C-alpha cells in the first residue's frame, strides 16, 4: 500500500498567520500535540505543543515566532513501511505527505498506521503466536512455514528482527490455529529454539469444558 491511501484528510493544518492560542486550541480539539504548518501548498514543518506553550505572547502569529519547525515528510508514492519507519524513528503522531511537486496533500496519523498494520497483516485473525530465535545463517522463513504446514496449519503473518543478544533473528509468527503445541513440538524436533508462545483464551476454555465434561462422565 502507498502512503497516499492512508492519508487522513480531516486533520487540520496551521497557517503562519494563526495565533499561538488558536493553534493550541486546534491541537486540543483534535487531541494532538503536533500539527503541520502550511503556507498555501508549501509544507513549512511540524510545530509542537510544547513550543507554543513556551511563547510569552499567545495572541501573536506563529509565523512571527522563532519556532523549531521540523520537516519530516513522506512522498505519496512511498510504501507504508517507509511511513512506519519515519513515525517510529522520530516518534511522530502525524506524518506529513507531499506529492511529486513537493506540495502538501495531507497527513497520516499513528492511529491510522496502527489500524492498517493490524487489519492488513492478519494480526486480528484468530490463531496462536510462536516466537523463535534462529541463528542468522540458519534463518529461512520458507523452512519454518513448511514445518508449520506439516501440522495442517498456515502462517498468517510473520515479523522478524535482529536479536543482538542471541546473535540471530527473532521471528514471531501468527498461525491460523489456537493450538500451537503440535507446531511447537515439530519446530523443536527440528532444533528450533522456541522463546515464547501464546494461545487464545477460547482454546483454553474449550479444552477446560472438554476436561470438565470428561470428569463428570467418569464420576457418573
Strands 42-48 and 74-75: unpaired
**3-state DSSP call for residue 219?**
helix
Q: Are 73 and 98 in contact (CB under 8 A)?
A: yes
Fold of 3-117: CBS-domain (3.10.580)
Q: Are 27 and 35 in contact (CB under 8 A)?
A: yes
* CATH H-level, domain 128-199: superfamily: VC0802-like (3.30.2130.10)
| Whole-number Å distance between alpha carbons of 138 and 156 | 22
Domain span(s) for CATH 3.10.580.10 in the chain: 3-117
200: its cell numbers: 487464545
Identify the pLDDT of residue 103.
Answer: 94
pTM, 2 dp: 0.71
Identify the pLDDT of residue 26.
Answer: 95
Domain span(s) for CATH 3.30.2130.10 in the chain: 128-199
Would you give per-residue pLDDT tens digits along the chain (220 residues)? 889 999 998 999 999 999 999 999 999 999 999 999 999 999 999 999 999 998 888 899 998 988 888 899 999 999 998 998 999 899 899 999 999 888 999 999 988 888 888 777 777 778 899 999 999 999 999 999 999 999 999 999 898 989 877 779 999 999 998 889 999 999 999 999 999 998 765 544 555 565 566 556 555 4
| Whole-number Å distance between alpha carbons of 97 and 74 | 5
- Burial of residue 165 (CB within 10 Å: 0-12, 13-18, 19+) is exposed
Amino acid at each position: 500500500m502507498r502512503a497516499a491511501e492512508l492519508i487522513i484528510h480531516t486533520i487540520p493544518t496551521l497557517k503562519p498567520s494563526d495565533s499561538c492560542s488558536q493553534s493550541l486550541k486546534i491541537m486540543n480539539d483534535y487531541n494532538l500535540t503536533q500539527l503541520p504548518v502550511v503556507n498555501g501548498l508549501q509544507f513549512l514543518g511540524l510545530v509542537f505543543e510544547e513550543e507554543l506553550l513556551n511563547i510569552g505572547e499567545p495572541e501573536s502569529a506563529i509565523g512571527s515566532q522563532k519556532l523549531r519547525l521540523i520537516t519530516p515528510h513522506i512522498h505519496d508514492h512511498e510504501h507504508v513501511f517507509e511511513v512506519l519507519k519515519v513515525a517510529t524513528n522520530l516518534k511522530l503522531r502525524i506524518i506529513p505527505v507531499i506529492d511529486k511537486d513537493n506540495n502538501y496533500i495531507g497527513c497520516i496519523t499513528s492511529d491510522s498506521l496502527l489500524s492498517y498494520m493490524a487489519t492488513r497483516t492478519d494480526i486480528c485473525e484468530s490463531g496462536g503466536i510462536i516466537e523463535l530465535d534462529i541463528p542468522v545463517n540458519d534463518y529461512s522463513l520458507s523452512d519454518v512455514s513448511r514445518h508449520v504446514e506439516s501440522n495442517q496449519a498456515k502462517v498468517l503473518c510473520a515479523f522478524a528482527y535482529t536479536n543482538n543478544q542471541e546473535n540471530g533473528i527473532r521471528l514471531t509468527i501468527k498461525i491460523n490455529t489456537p493450538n500451537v503445541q503440535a507446531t511447537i513440538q515439530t519446530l523443536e524436533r527440528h532444533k528450533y529454539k522456541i522463546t515464547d508462545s501464546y494461545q487464545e483464551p477460547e482454546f483454553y476454555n474449550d479444552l477446560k469444558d472438554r476436561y470438565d465434561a470428561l470428569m463428570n462422565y467418569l464420576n457418573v
